[in-house]
Structure 1
Amino acid sequence: MNTYFSSFRPFTLLGWLLFVLVPMACVDPEDILLRGTVDVIVVDGTITNLDEPQLIKLNRSRADPVSGLFGVLPVTKASVKVRIDSAQTVSATETVDGTYRLPGDFRGQAGHAYQLQITFNDGTEYVSTQQVMPPVPPIDNVSIRFNATAFAPGQYPKGFRAGYTCQVTTRDPVDQHNYYRWDWKLWEKQKWCRSCYQGNYIDSVQENYVQNGVLVMVRRAVEDCEPIPRDFSVTNFEHWYDFTCRTPCWDISQNATLHLFDDQLTNGGAVNGRQVAVVPLLTRQPALLEIRQVALTASAYRFYDLLQQQTQKTGGLADTPPAALVGNVTNRANPREVVVGFFTASSIATARRFLDKKDATVLSYGAYDESGQIIEFDDELFFVQTTRIPLPGAKGKPFVPGGPDRYITAPCIPGETRTPIKPDGWPD
């Protein structure tokens, strides 16, 4: 993946914490900070009031004893529960390794208290502090403007600097000390849904059998890559084959920077035209942008503020190694165990705007490759994500003997970064 796009991966607490933890491998091995962070549990979860998946993520960040390089292992088969107002308990279900989802109809409510309870397979129990979800004021206005020089020179390859700057206006509640974070989500159409390394995608196979003297032909779904036998006369066999989406599909990207705000200087006043996001011009294709105004608890703000400070360090030799970002989750039996990450509850106000990108005065990042070759309009997002031009896979065998060849397509698999469901606000 190229340098540019990797810096705009969805905001994940684990990604930032790895950024902070890696320098700790240079600390004296006898230092308690190192011993506490080379093998740590990372917890990432936020209860929100929105109609969206409510996820808790559990990982173990571990340094290789020889190389010192950090790796991440999902924590599976844990019992994950959220306790509400010290009275009701809701259980989460593991959907993919290390990711636990609360029931689909679960939504947080401002003023209610939430506490995370985790039990690992070996019986180890962890618990978070109680987090009372604060209310969030609505976003009164969003101003989005194209800026050909939105990013600093040299920050990304090919001299790329273009993006959209986003400013919000909101009314901060009076007589309350409030804390905010602003995030963004971007939906863009994706044409390509599956890539097979040195192989082809097989959607189904035909199976024949005789039943009561009658030949029966049925098709069995496969939906997976099948390796192509290696031709040793071909010296260059390092290639991918790519397959288009079977249905409409949208990829979702999110911010990878923290935008925090403490209202101690503006308590009860209007927040006018505050810049909360810079969204890169990845493609020439239209996109749907969502600005998210997140109300933080005081403890969550302190955690994210420290995270922001540490990830903005230059990394020079004179820098003090960062302190362990210990969050609000502890081991019931061993409070001295270092557990990083944070569990909290946040009300979120959102505003969506459709970007037709007709105001862009320069080409998008994905419009051309390093040699200057122009990329096809609907291949740009794929190129941004993979730094290569898609190579269509082989056609499939006809469904009926003698019939025409057919193009093989792949399903749009829903997840945190992809959806087959048209997002609200998409015009067609």
Structure 2
Amino acid sequence: MFILSISCVDPEEVTLRGTTNILVVDGTITDRAEPQIINLNRSVADRLTGRFGTLPLTKATVEVVEDSLRVIPCHETIDGSYQLPSDFKGRVGHAYQLRFVLSDGTQYESTQQVMPPVPPIGKVSSKFNPQSLPPQVLKGYTAAHDIFIESQDPVGQHNYYRWDWKLYERQYWCRKCQNGVYSIHKVIPHKYKDFTFFVAGDELYEECFMPPVKPDWQLEFGEPSVPGGDWYYDYQCGGDCWEIQYSYDILIFDDTFTNGGLIANQRVAQIPFYDYQSALVDIRQLSLTASAYRYYRLFADQTQKTGGLADTPPTALSGNVHPVNNPQVGTVGYFTASAVSVVHYWLDRKDTQGVAYGTLDPLGPHVNIGDDLFYALNLRRPYPEPPPPYIGGREEAKVRIWPNNDRPPLAPCIQSDNKTPFKPEGWRN
């Protein structure tokens, strides 16, 4: 048996220091009815500091080829993210290859990856551990729930595994407006009221309204003055919303010495004690191809040998995607195919001890439900737009919109990588 727990650090930050421009590819085809996404980015190092920044690669033509015959096109959803059709899911025993053409005409392709089967997850259990997390994860806070699984490894075949998790928590705050206020309706240009209000019409807007800061001599007649500086307001959700958090490490497993045995008491997740509310954890057991396993193991070996991010690794860690006309040029990241077994595990947090991470606000206890999670994720308490009436010394909103009978408005929960308005499978009311 060989197990590696790998800190979740972008590969280019670890292995390509000194390389100023590198293509980063990330994509896994699974056999589940879930979004199948290929991410393409370019990691570019600052010539002075050497620190890397990420630039999404847009307008690429991306496709996945199944069994060298069937071509499945992807469409760009957000910058650098390319999604396969919603009805597509991979099949065990079938071969998959990634091909794409960048906007400059450069063609890339991956090696073929045959999706191996994966056995189901059996028993799942959790135990509160006040010393679970590495200190660097949450600024010295270490309390979390360790989650363990059992799974029967198949007899007579060499299997490689990877585990990850996805955490769902109820979220009550849906939008932050920086130097502006949230407006349900579009503000009418050049229309003001009482030198105090911007005026909204009937056209739906549902966005942050951020009027420019102007000196007094540039203001139109009746136009309200907008304060400068760095300020913001937070807006509560207008409906159900769930925050989504993901694994912060990579755990892989080689069954060489336990072939056909029971994988028992295997820790597969450490769920931070963010707050006292119950939560849902999706535990995922993925099959790995032998080449994908070797890539992740090499990643771990290089990270351990170099001693950290400040050291230069001996060689660049190249993935399995290469330019068609120059196969010797590598990229970072890996394209692979994995079968997945999922268990929706309800974490009630009834066995916790001590204080939750979200209650460590130096300004004192929180009053509203959801504020502990907000603090845990943002390291600040929410700051809502002050409601009218603005009398008797009450704090006034920095930007005011008329009519103001619905201020502050509620914001919708927008589907994204980190939020969803749709009730997760396995959620308990």
Same structural fold, with TM-score higher than 0.5 when normalized by the shorter chain? yes
CA distance in 2, matches of 1:261, 1:203: 50
CA distance in 2, matches of 1:47, 1:145: 32
CA distance in 2, matches of 1:117, 1:396: 56
Correspondent of 1:383 among 375, 385, 398: 375
Report if aligned partners of 1:186, 1:290 keep a CA contact under 8 Å in 2.
yes
Runs of 5+ in structure 2 lacking a partner?
A: 1-5, 190-199, 216-224, 390-401
Report if aligned partners of 2:176, 2:233 keep a CA contact under 8 Å in 1.
yes
2:125 aligned with 1:143, yes or no?
yes
Question: How many angstroms does 1:231 deviate by?
Answer: 9.3
Q: Provide the residue aligned with 2:148 in structure 1.
A: 167
Correspondent of 1:20 among 14, 31, 37: 14
Q: Provide the residue aligned with 1:28 in structure 2.
A: none
CA distance in 1, matches of 2:363, 2:142: 17
Report if aligned partners of 2:211, 2:226 keep a CA contact under 8 Å in 1.
no
TM-score, normalised by the number of residues in structure 1: 0.85
In structure 2, the CA distance between the partners of 1:56 and 1:373, relative to structure 1 (3 Å rule), is same
Q: Provide the residue aligned with 1:420 in structure 2.
A: 421
Look up the equivalent residue of 2:154 and give its one-letter code: P
Correspondent of 1:67 among 49, 59, 77: 49
Q: Provide the residue aligned with 1:77 in structure 2.
A: 59
Q: Name the structure with the higher helix share.
A: 1
Correspondent of 2:364 among 333, 349, 373: 373
CA distance in 1, matches of 2:309, 2:121: 42
CA distance in 1, matches of 2:63, 2:403: 57
**What is the DSSP-based 3-state SS (H/G/I as helix, E as strand, rest coil) of the residue aligned with 1:310?**
helix
2:338 aligned with 1:338, yes or no?
no
CA distance in 2, matches of 1:364, 1:262: 35
Deviation sequence 1:221-269 (CA, Å, 0-9, x none): 1122122665999999432201011111001101111111000000011
2:115 aligned with 1:121, yes or no?
no
**What is the DSSP-based 3-state SS (H/G/I as helix, E as strand, rest coil) of the residue aligned with 2:380?**
coil
Look up the equivalent residue of 1:254 and give its one-letter code: Y
Deviation sequence 1:305-324 (CA, Å, 0-9, x none): 12233344563699662521
Which stretch of structure 1 is more off in the superposition, 305-314 or 181-190? 305-314
Report if aligned partners of 1:288, 1:353 keep a CA contact under 8 Å in 2.
yes
Runs of 5+ in structure 1 lacking a partner?
A: 1-10, 26-36, 209-216
**What is the DSSP-based 3-state SS (H/G/I as helix, E as strand, rest coil) of the residue aligned with 1:264?**
coil
Report if aligned partners of 1:198, 1:240 keep a CA contact under 8 Å in 2.
yes
**What is the DSSP-based 3-state SS (H/G/I as helix, E as strand, rest coil) of the residue aligned with 2:118?**
coil
Report if aligned partners of 1:294, 1:346 keep a CA contact under 8 Å in 2.
yes
Which stretch of structure 1 is more off in the superposition, 298-307 or 237-246? 237-246
**What is the DSSP-based 3-state SS (H/G/I as helix, E as strand, rest coil) of the residue aligned with 2:296?**
helix
CA distance in 2, matches of 1:205, 1:171: 58
Look up the equivalent residue of 2:13 and give its one-letter code: F
2:247 aligned with 1:255, yes or no?
yes
Deviation sequence 1:308-360 (CA, Å, 0-9, x none): 33344563699662521111111011122221111000001011111121221
Q: Provide the residue aligned with 1:7 in structure 2.
A: none
In structure 2, the CA distance between the partners of 1:75 and 1:155, relative to structure 1 (3 Å rule), is closer
2:336 aligned with 1:353, yes or no?
no
Q: Provide the residue aligned with 2:266 in structure 1.
A: 274
Q: Provide the residue aligned with 2:161 in structure 1.
A: 180
TM-score, normalised by the number of residues in structure 2: 0.84
Which stretch of structure 1 is more off in the superposition, 99-108 or 377-386? 377-386
Question: How many angstroms does 1:126 deviate by?
Answer: 0.4
Q: Provide the residue aligned with 1:227 in structure 2.
A: 210
Question: How many angstroms does 1:16 deviate by?
Answer: 1.9
Which stretch of structure 1 is more off in the superposition, 274-283 or 129-138? 274-283
Query: What is the Cα-based RMSD across aligned positions, in Å?
Result: 2.8
Question: How many angstroms does 1:67 deviate by?
Answer: 3.0
CA distance in 2, matches of 1:55, 1:340: 17
2:230 aligned with 1:238, yes or no?
yes
Q: Provide the residue aligned with 2:197 in structure 1.
A: none
CA distance in 1, matches of 2:410, 2:297: 45
CA distance in 2, matches of 1:396, 1:102: 47
CA distance in 1, matches of 2:87, 2:172: 31
Correspondent of 2:298 among 299, 306, 326: 306
In structure 2, the CA distance between the partners of 1:318 and 1:358, relative to structure 1 (3 Å rule), is closer
Question: How many angstroms does 1:76 deviate by?
Answer: 0.6
Q: Provide the residue aligned with 1:32 in structure 2.
A: none
Question: How many angstroms does 1:102 deviate by?
Answer: 0.1
Look up the equivalent residue of 1:172 and give its one-letter code: D
CA distance in 2, matches of 1:294, 1:261: 10
In structure 2, the CA distance between the partners of 1:406 and 1:38, relative to structure 1 (3 Å rule), is closer
**What is the DSSP-based 3-state SS (H/G/I as helix, E as strand, rest coil) of the residue aligned with 2:370?**
helix
Correspondent of 1:95 among 77, 88, 93: 77
In structure 2, the CA distance between the partners of 1:57 and 1:318, relative to structure 1 (3 Å rule), is closer
CA distance in 2, matches of 1:422, 1:396: 33
Count of residue correspondences: 392
Report if aligned partners of 1:396, 1:405 keep a CA contact under 8 Å in 2.
no
CA distance in 2, matches of 1:328, 1:270: 32
Pairing 1:393-408 to 2, within 5 Å after superposition:
393-395=385-387, 404-408=405-409
CA distance in 1, matches of 2:91, 2:304: 33
Look up the equivalent residue of 1:82 and give its one-letter code: V
CA distance in 2, matches of 1:157, 1:43: 28
**What is the DSSP-based 3-state SS (H/G/I as helix, E as strand, rest coil) of the residue aligned with 1:100?**
strand
CA distance in 2, matches of 1:407, 1:313: 54
CA distance in 1, matches of 2:22, 2:168: 34
Q: Provide the residue aligned with 1:283 in structure 2.
A: 275
Report if aligned partners of 1:202, 1:224 keep a CA contact under 8 Å in 2.
yes
